[in-house]
Amino acid sequence: MKKWLLSILILTLAVVLIACGSENEEDSSGGDDDSSSEASKWDEIQEEGELVVGTSGTLYPASFYPEDSDELTGYDVEIMKEVADRLELDLSFEEYAVDGLLSSIESGRVDMVINDMEITEERQKSFTFSEPYKHSYSTMVVREDDLSGIDSLEDIEGKVHGGGATTVYAQIAEHFGAEIKSYGNVTNDVYLRDVENGRTDLIINDYYLQSLALEALPELEVTIHPDLQFHPKESGIVMPEGEDELKEKVDEKLNEMREDGTLTEISEEFYGGQDASEKPDVDAEEIEGLDI
């Protein structure tokens, strides 16, 4: 009996020692994991020496390819180039459809996104935004002959809105009862022609983007609705959630660019002499009950 009890005690002691040893090893390795996980996105970017930025490449004049050119440019693109240059980093762009841009941050395929992305309360729950580099408001492209039968925002109900399904503009359209026709990563003329030919009835989007797109395609029989200006907005560079150090570095350069006139200069180049870096002098209607 004594031998049996002694064997049990020895086995119990061995199990305790093994468990303690494993726990200590986990503590030790866990410390290493914690220290490596503490490396911020900014640390990673500095180590790589490069910023990888997501954009669509099809959003004129924010992010696009000029005719007969393979060089990406636009208001957003040139701002990002200047930020990277001032941070002394190389820069590369990865192109995604609008509905895939935010998920490219979550998957780690890009470090940040710039694509006229509106700063909203809902998005700020999952992402970090820079200070605004653009201020604007929303307008609506409709058919030129009858304004697509729309006299007010309430008249959108039952109409077909063309655009990315995950955009704030689609949310506005749905808020007023429109059906959403979504697209892949297509250029502005595809959206506009669908309004002209009746496949869709309207496109809600940014005033500056829409006015420049229509100027570039004057042959299309579509127009910006003359009586509807709504939903004032701000656009920022999107970064992973909680990356405060990266935001601080980006904001510092954006503020420098605002103070030395670089943001104004870039905006006037791409927005027909208009300064989108400052709040427009327009009384745009706030939309009540819009949860974005």
Please give, one letter per residue, the 3-state secondary structure of 253-274: HHHHHHHCCHHHHHHHHHCCCC
Of the candidate ranges 24-33, 36-45, 83-92, 154-163, the one whose mean pLDDT is the lowest: 24-33
Inform me whether the pLDDT recorded for 18 exceeds 50.
no
For position 162, what pLDDT does the model report?
96
Work out the pLDDT band at 292, boundaries 50, 70, 90: confident
For position 139, what pLDDT does the model report?
98
Please give, one letter per residue, the 3-state secondary structure of 34-79: HHHHCCCHHHHHHHHCEEEEEECCCECCCEECCCCCCCCECHHHHH
246-258 confidence digits (pLDDT tens): 999 999 999 999 9
Mean of the pLDDT values across residues 18-44?
56
Q: Cα–Cα distance between 289 and 149 in angstroms, integer?
A: 24
For position 36, what pLDDT does the model report?
46
What's the mean pLDDT when you consider all of the chain? Answer: 89
Q: Which amino acid is at 11?
A: L
Peptide bond into 61 cis (omega under 30): yes
CATH fold group of domain 43-133+236-270: D-Maltodextrin-Binding Protein; domain 2 (3.40.190)
What is the pTM (predicted TM-score) of this model?
A: 0.80
Q: Percent of the chain having pLDDT more than 90?
A: 81
CATH fold group of domain 136-232: D-Maltodextrin-Binding Protein; domain 2 (3.40.190)
Please give, one letter per residue, the 3-state secondary structure of the chain: CHHHHHHHHHHHHHHHHHHHHHHHHHHHHHHHHHHHHCCCHHHHHHHHCEEEEEECCCECCCEECCCCCCCCECHHHHHHHHHHHHCCCEEEEEECCHHHHHHHHHCCCCCEECCCCECCHHHHCCEEECCCCEEEEEEEEEECCCHHHCCCHHHHCCCEEECCCCCHHHHHHHHCCCEEECCCCCCHHHHHHHHHCCCCCEEEEEHHHHHHHHHHCCCCCEEECCCCCEEEEEECCEEECCCHHHHHHHHHHHHHHHHCCHHHHHHHHHCCCCCCCCCCCCCCECCCCCCC
Mean of the pLDDT values across residues 239-267?
98
**Does the fold of domain 136-232 match that of domain 43-133+236-270?**
yes
Q: Which amino acid is at 281?
A: D
Mean of the pLDDT values across residues 272-285?
96
For position 37, what pLDDT does the model report?
53
89-144 confidence digits (pLDDT tens): 999 999 999 999 999 999 999 999 999 999 999 999 999 999 999 999 999 999 99
Work out the pLDDT band at 39, boundaries 50, 70, 90: confident
Q: Percent of the chain having pLDDT more than 70?
A: 87
181-207 confidence digits (pLDDT tens): 999 888 889 999 999 999 999 999 999
162-178 confidence digits (pLDDT tens): 998 889 999 999 999 99
- Give the residue extent of every domain in the chain: 43-133+236-270, 136-232
